Chains A and B, each alone.
Chain A
């Protein structure tokens, strides 16, 4: 068979093609770019009617806070959400990818997605990359078989647990869970406990900070409470906020949108040349 005619589908798994070149560059003195890590506290717990997921909102790049209010709870399916810790790009990419795979699967089967489907897709992907995709996930959702909560580690192993924490703040959050978790929590008790665990991570771990995001998933319903708690508000020196100097003369307090003043003319020109 002539090689040009056959289209070989891309093989999965880690591609070692660039390794030699990367090694050579490092030997020559190139410092590899550092990743944007989410240095995180993410938690999940199962309560009476479903699953509650929680996360902090700080993204770090080494010692600097890159994003003070990022979103770590990712959408997978209408009834499944996933929190991600580790390298931000990896968690985003992997959850987006599995989310689209789930959607196509839903169209094909005509049924709601199950949490174990998402789990298997994620763990297969992560295992085939042997831990190089640095994504540690807390996956939770409610499907036809009930509420489920799983943790997935970067190398591809998974756990099924009634309460789970991941990320650099996982020990601080886990100490709260181990002290206070009990079975059959109500919705309000569960939210309070998750918020407490995330706050424990925010205040006791340097890699986590800013606000608390919470997502409550129950049968047939989900509530994404973005910035449920903001225990680190920005405080201004003056309680009135910014006040202009006394010499400032106020000319006009009417706001005119610029669109009314600007004329937009379409020039029938040629399309951009390629």
Chain B
């Protein structure tokens, strides 16, 4: 997909310069992310592949990262834009810590920040080519939301990006229910990841799973 703005000055050189300042198409991409809310918090899973077009270039990319004390961010789409977003969020969390007021940014706040960032970039025709999944737990309440590259954002009990929309969502709609235990949640995510591995050509067989538990208020990483 290409975004082109008609530029009055018909100079080819100038057009090329202007184009090189905007994202036209993604290069290194990550495939789907699948995430669910379960009884004690939030579970998220992704594979660890970065494709360069039709080549599987990178096989050890972590597409899910912890944000602050309360949130998990997962991204599909352009990897460099994901890294840029992580830098923005670093700055955000740092500034929040500098207030030193005992309060910390929770998942709702981070989700809202990301929505604004994505939407404003899209308005300038220079999008961050990602679909982001934001999950987290604060004050005993779990939260799970999604932002797309054009700024569409919503929250739900289970989300999936990329191919997961078509392959994982039907499974999640049928089999998700409130009060899933951790083991049940893991099994459900494994089912989704397996179907994605069968039918998504850019999926690889190396996975990453992260969870956020309510009670402990700490992140448990399980690669």
Contact = CB atoms under 8 A, between A and B. Distances in A.
A198 to B, nearest CB: 12
Contacts of A171: 166-167, 199
Interface string A163-179: 00000000110111011
A127 interface: no
B171 A174 contact: no
A14 to B, nearest CB: 31
Interface in B10-39: none
**Interface core residue of A171, A172, A175 (most chain B CB under 10 Å):** A175
Chain A, interface size category, equals: 10 to 19
Contacts of B167: 171-172, 174-175
B198 interface: yes
A64 to B, nearest CB: 23
A178 B199 contact: yes
B169 interface: yes
B168 to A, nearest CB: 7
A246 B133 CA distance: 58
A191 B195 CA distance: 21
Contacts of A203: 170, 173
A158 to B, nearest CB: 19
Contacts of B177: none
Nearest to A174: B199
A204 interface: yes
Contact of A179 (B166, B169, B173, B195): B195
A176 B198 CA distance: 12
A79 B154 CA distance: 50
Nearest to B171: A175
B174 interface: yes
Given A172-B166, A174-B167, A175-B168, A204 B173 contact: yes
Nearest to B198: A178
A210 interface: no
B194 interface: yes
Interface residues of B, number: 13
A176 B170 CA distance: 8
A204 B169 contact: yes
B221 interface: no
Nearest to B163: A171
B191 interface: yes
A200 B170 contact: yes
Nearest to B169: A204
A172 B195 CA distance: 11
Nearest to B165: A171
A236 B200 CA distance: 42
Interface in B164-211: 166-171, 173-174, 191, 194-195, 198-199
A175 B34 CA distance: 14
Nearest to A201: B170
Nearest to A173: B170
Nearest to B174: A200
A179 B199 contact: no
A62 to B, nearest CB: 21
A204 B195 contact: no
Nearest to A200: B170
A176 B174 CA distance: 10
Contacts of B195: 174-175, 178-179
Nearest to A171: B166
**Interface core residue of B167, B170, B191 (most chain A CB under 10 Å):** B170
B168 A179 contact: no
Contacts of A200: 170, 174
A38 B199 CA distance: 24
A178 to B, nearest CB: 5
Given A178-B194, A179-B191, A179-B194, A172 B170 contact: yes
B171 A176 contact: yes
The 10 closest A-B pairs by CB, nearest first: A171-B166, A172-B170, A175-B167, A200-B170, A204-B170, A178-B195, A175-B195, A178-B198, A175-B170, A179-B191
19 contacts: A171-B199, A172-B166, A172-B167, A172-B169, A172-B170, A174-B167, A174-B195, A175-B167, A175-B168, A175-B170, A175-B171, A178-B194, A178-B195, A178-B198, A178-B199, A179-B171, A179-B194, A179-B195, A203-B173
Given A172-B167, A175-B171, A200-B174, 17 more contacts: A171-B167, A171-B199, A174-B195, A174-B199, A175-B199, A176-B170, A176-B171, A178-B195, A178-B199, A179-B171, A179-B191, A179-B195, A200-B170, A203-B170, A203-B173, A204-B169, A204-B170
Interface of B: 166-171, 173-174, 191, 194-195, 198-199
